[in-house]
Amino acid sequence: MIKSLAVLGSTGSIGVQALEVARLHNLKIEALTVGSRIDILENQIREFLPAVAAVADENAAKELRIKVADTPTKILSGADGVAECAACGAESVLNSIVGIAGLAPTVAAIEAGSDIALANKETLVAGGKFVMSLAKEKGVSILPVDSEHSAIFQSLQGCADKKQIKKLILTASGGPFFGRKKEELENVTLEQALNHPNWSMGAKITIDSATMMNKGLELIEAAWLFDMPAKDIDIVVHRQSIVHSLVEYSDNSVIAQLGVPDMRIPIQYALTYPDRFESPVRQLDLTEFGTLTFEKPDYETFVCINLCRRSFEKGGLYPAAVNAANEKANELFRQGKIGFLDIARAVSHALETAPQNDDYSLGDVFETDRLIRSQTERLFL
């Protein structure tokens, strides 16, 4: 098992659970980074005493520097400080930053030769081409933390030849609005959208689950991680979130990973792979659930899934564009500035207007992100 770890986004839903796993297995925390929540970070610094920590927000970093002056931890700031923490050289860097802000730190960590435990799916959606080839070049592993991708990764253990994989099947909870039609979603509130049936997560991904954009992003994430064409990745709605995803092989045998919905299982597996250890997660008692259901997604209502699929098939900067539009629109919805269905409208608009460029650089990805964000804002204001 790895001995040293950096946690990027340590105050978030995944970050806090990652530190719980680290505490349980006595991992040395080399670096911690956050956006702006310095109250929680201060406690984490006092417990784990990392060599460095970074706060993206400059003012919050200044405040924290004074608060933890009695500790050995050096406090860095801004996006550069976060990237410097990512490049601290820990054996594994768990990236649980939310959004495109996670992409540059992932690249920095790979450059430094660390293995990546990846929760930040936006890293692969927008920058998959660069992240996967750089990881290969540097000989580092990208281990999925996202539960569906961890399930697929676990179901692929023992597969000797990639040609024997026929299909990846991602399960989706369906979110809080499963079964509703488009007309019924026009006026849903933020509170309703934040009410996820099975998972307690950060606000951005919870809204992504309500629009099912999350499943579209995950389709692209899976395509990059497992080098599969989008046409061979299916989505099935499974309301109970017990079967976390499946792999169909050439003999039509299907292997799945199951467990109660608790992110500490995939987090721990990404840190202990290929070994397994005791975990605080409760055992799965199938009889407690009785019935597991599987249904087709309603693609007419939850259009974001196929918008993502199409963006990946178009290639180039299209996935970065739909990701940027979604991030901006998701934020505007959470601020009460636009309606729920406007999120899909923004994503659809981005797919039509994204810059066409097959020979794009990582710089073009960031530029597209900026461009589509401001375009999305103008669309509504």
Which residues lie near ligand NAD (CB under 6 A)?
Answer: 9-15, 33-35, 37, 56, 82, 96-98, 101, 119-122, 146, 199, 201-202, 204-205, 263
34 binds, among ligand NAD, Mg ion, none (CB under 5 to 8 A by kind): ligand NAD
Nearer to Mg ion, 44 or 323 (CB): 323
Binding site for Mg ion (CB under 5 A): 146-148
Nearer to ligand NAD, 77 or 155 (CB): 77
Q: Which candidate, 27, 29, 19, 21, places its Cα nearest to that of 3?
A: 27
- Least distance to Mg ion, CB of residue 244, Å: 8
Nearer to ligand NAD, 206 or 306 (CB): 206
For the four alpha carbons of 309, 314, 319 and 321, in that order, the dihedral sign comes to: negative
Q: How many residues does the chain have?
A: 381
Joined tokens for residue 136: 């290969």
Nearer to ligand NAD, 78 or 355 (CB): 78
Name the DSSP letter for residue 5.
Answer: E
Q: Is 92 within 8 Å of 109 (Cβ atoms)?
A: no
Other CB atoms within a 10 A radius of the CB of residue 224 amount to 21
Nearer to ligand NAD, 89 or 202 (CB): 202
- Least distance to ligand NAD, CB of residue 266, Å: 8
233 binds, among Mg ion, ligand NAD, none (CB under 5 to 8 A by kind): none
202 binds, among ligand NAD, Mg ion, none (CB under 5 to 8 A by kind): ligand NAD
User: Residue 142: phi, psi to the nearest 5?
Assistant: -110, 110
Q: What angle (nearest 5°) sits at the alpha carbon of residue 295, between those of residues 244 and 166?
A: 60
Nearer to Mg ion, 148 or 342 (CB): 148
326 binds, among ligand NAD, Mg ion, none (CB under 5 to 8 A by kind): none
Q: Which candidate, 206, 208, 230, 204, places its Cα nearest to that of 318?
A: 230
Name the DSSP letter for residue 295.
Answer: B
14 binds, among ligand NAD, Mg ion, none (CB under 5 to 8 A by kind): ligand NAD
- Least distance to Mg ion, CB of residue 190, Å: 21
Nearer to ligand NAD, 104 or 169 (CB): 104
- Least distance to ligand NAD, CB of residue 258, Å: 17
- Least distance to ligand NAD, CB of residue 112, Å: 17
Joined tokens for residue 141: 């592993």
28 binds, among ligand NAD, Mg ion, none (CB under 5 to 8 A by kind): none
Give me the residue whose beta carbon is nearest to ligand NAD: 12
96 binds, among Mg ion, ligand NAD, none (CB under 5 to 8 A by kind): ligand NAD
- Least distance to Mg ion, CB of residue 263, Å: 9
- Least distance to ligand NAD, CB of residue 337, Å: 19
368 binds, among Mg ion, ligand NAD, none (CB under 5 to 8 A by kind): none
The 3-state DSSP class for residue 240 equals coil
User: Residue 84: phi, psi to the nearest 5?
Assistant: -65, -40
DSSP 63-97: HHHHHTTTSSPEEEEHHHHHHHHHTS--SEEEE--
319 binds, among ligand NAD, Mg ion, none (CB under 5 to 8 A by kind): none
Contacts 24+ apart (CB under 8 A), 252-255: 252/166, 254/169, 255/155
Chain centroid, CA 47 distance in Å: 26
CB-based contacts of 237, cutoff 8 Å, min separation 6? 171, 172, 173, 174, 178, 294, 295, 296, 297
- Least distance to ligand NAD, CB of residue 100, Å: 9
Nearer to ligand NAD, 200 or 356 (CB): 200
- Least distance to Mg ion, CB of residue 196, Å: 11
Nearer to ligand NAD, 84 or 298 (CB): 84
Name the DSSP letter for residue 187.
Answer: T
